[in-house]
C-alpha cells in the first residue's frame, strides 16, 4: 500500500463554533494542530464534517486562513471549494487558493443531478481555475449523483486532478478506479469502516472522521497493512468498529462533534438543521469512545 500525496490519514475536520453559533477560528487552529500530533497527515476544511453547507463564504475563507496560519507547512490543508453551481465553485476556488491552502476538494454537484458529461465539465472548470491540486469527492448518498469510474478515470488525465475521496460504499468502484487511473492518481477511502477493505483494492489512505478520536490507531492499522501485517491490521480494524458505528449512528458530524467536546475541545453544537444528540444517544457514544478518553488523549479546554 503506497501513501498518497496527502498521507494516509487525512482528517475531515469539524468546525468549532462558539455558544452563539459563530465560527471559532482560534479553536479551529488549536484542533488542527492537535490532530496533526495525533495521527493526521492532512486536513480537509469546511467539508461535510466541517458543516460546509451551513457556512457562508466568508466563514469558510476565515477558517482556511486560520488553519493555514496554525499549521503552516506541517501538513497539507485541503479546502472544500465545490458546490452544485459550477460558476460559483470556480470563483470560490480562486478565493480559497488565495488563502494559502495546499489543495482543493470538490464534491459532486448535489441536487442538480448532472449527467456524467456535465460532471466532467464541472470538475475540469474547477481544476482550471487555480494551480492547486484537486481532490474529487464522490458521495452519492448525499448528492444523489454517482461519479462513475469511467468519469473519474477520464478526469484523472487532468494535470491538477490528483485524487478522489470515494464514498459510494461500493468497494468495486474504488477498485476499478485504482486499476485504471494513472499510477500517481490517489484513491482515498471516504468511509472509516471501509478504510482497510479499500486499502486491499488500491486505496492509498482514508479521509477520516474517526481520526478525531482514534487517529493513531487508524494510522497504525494502515501502517500494519502497508508492512504486510494483514492480521495485525485486521485486529485493529475490529477494535475500531464499535467507534465507527457510534460516530455514524446519527447523521455526521453530530456524534463526532460531541466526541471532540468530550476530548476537551470547545467546539459547540452543530448548526441547524442538525441538532444535538438525545441523552441516550450521547450515553451510547460516550461509552464507545471511553477507551480513547485517556489523560494523554484529552486536552484542557480554553
Q: Please name each of the domains of the chain with its CATH number.
A: 9-227 (3.20.20.70)
**pLDDT tens by residue, 126-154:** 999 999 999 999 999 999 999 999 999 99
pLDDT bucket at 261, cuts 50 / 70 / 90: very high
Yes or no: say if 126 and 94 are a contact pair by the CB < 8 Å rule.
no
Q: What phi and psi values does residue 47 have, to the nearest 5 degrees?
A: -85, -160
CA distance 119 to 146: 10
- With CA atoms as reference, report the closest residue to 176 among 152, 204, 145: 152
CA distance 144 to 90: 21
pLDDT bucket at 3, cuts 50 / 70 / 90: confident
Q: How many CB atoms lie within 10 A of CB 27?
A: 20
Q: Is pLDDT of 297 > 90?
A: no
Place of cell 468497494: 171
CA distance 190 to 171: 11
For residue 298, the model assigns a pLDDT of: 62
For residue 1, the model assigns a pLDDT of: 81
Residues marked active site are found at 137, 165
Q: Is pLDDT of 71 > 90?
A: yes
**pLDDT tens by residue, 214-228:** 999 999 999 999 999
Worst-scoring range by mean pLDDT, 155-164, 260-269, 289-298?
A: 289-298
For residue 80, the model assigns a pLDDT of: 97
For residue 173, the model assigns a pLDDT of: 97
For residue 295, the model assigns a pLDDT of: 54
Amino acid at each position: 500500500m503506497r501513501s498518497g500525496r496527502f498521507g494516509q490519514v487525512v482528517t475531515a475536520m469539524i468546525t468549532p463554533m462558539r455558544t452563539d453559533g459563530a465560527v471559532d477560528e482560534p479553536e479551529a487552529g488549536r484542533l488542527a494542530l492537535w490532530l496533526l500530533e495525533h495521527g493526521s497527515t492532512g486536513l480537509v476544511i469546511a467539508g461535510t464534517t466541517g458543516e460546509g453547507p451551513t457556512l457562508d463564504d466568508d466563514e469558510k475563507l476565515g477558517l482556511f486562513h486560520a488553519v493555514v496560519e496554525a499549521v503552516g507547512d506541517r501538513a497539507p490543508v485541503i479546502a472544500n471549494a465545490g458546490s452544485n453551481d459550477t460558476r460559483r465553485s470556480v470563483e470560490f476556488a480562486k478565493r480559497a487558493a488565495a488563502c494559502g491552502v495546499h489543495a482543493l476538494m470538490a464534491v459532486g454537484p448535489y441536487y442538480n443531478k448532472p449527467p456524467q458529461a456535465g460532471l466532467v465539465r464541472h470538475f475540469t472548470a474547477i481544476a482550471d481555475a487555480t494551480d492547486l491540486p484537486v481532490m474529487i469527492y464522490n458521495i452519492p448518498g448525499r448528492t444523489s449523483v454517482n461519479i462513475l469510474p469511467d468519469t473519474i478515470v477520464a478526469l484523472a488525465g487532468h494535470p491538477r486532478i490528483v485524487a478522489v475521496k470515494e464514498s459510494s460504499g461500493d468497494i468495486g468502484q474504488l477498485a476499478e478506479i485504482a486499476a485504471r487511473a494513472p499510477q500517481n492518481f490517489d484513491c482515498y477511502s471516504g468511509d472509516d469502516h471501509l478504510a482497510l477493505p479499500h486499502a486491499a483494492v488500491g486505496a492509498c489512505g482514508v479521509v477520516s472522521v474517526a481520526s478525531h478520536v482514534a487517529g493513531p490507531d487508524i494510522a497504525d492499522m494502515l501502517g500494519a497493512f502497508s508492512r504486510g501485517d494483514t492480521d495485525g491490521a485486521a485486529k485493529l480494524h475490529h477494535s475500531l468498529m464499535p467507534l465507527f458505528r457510534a460516530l455514524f449512528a446519527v447523521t455526521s458530524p453530530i456524534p463526532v462533534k460531541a466526541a471532540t467536546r468530550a476530548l476537551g475541545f470547545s467546539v459547540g453544537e452543530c448548526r441547524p438543521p442538525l441538532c444535538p444528540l438525545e441523552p441516550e444517544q450521547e450515553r451510547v457514544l460516550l461509552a464507545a469512545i471511553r477507551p480513547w478518553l485517556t489523560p494523554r488523549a484529552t486536552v484542557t479546554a480554553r
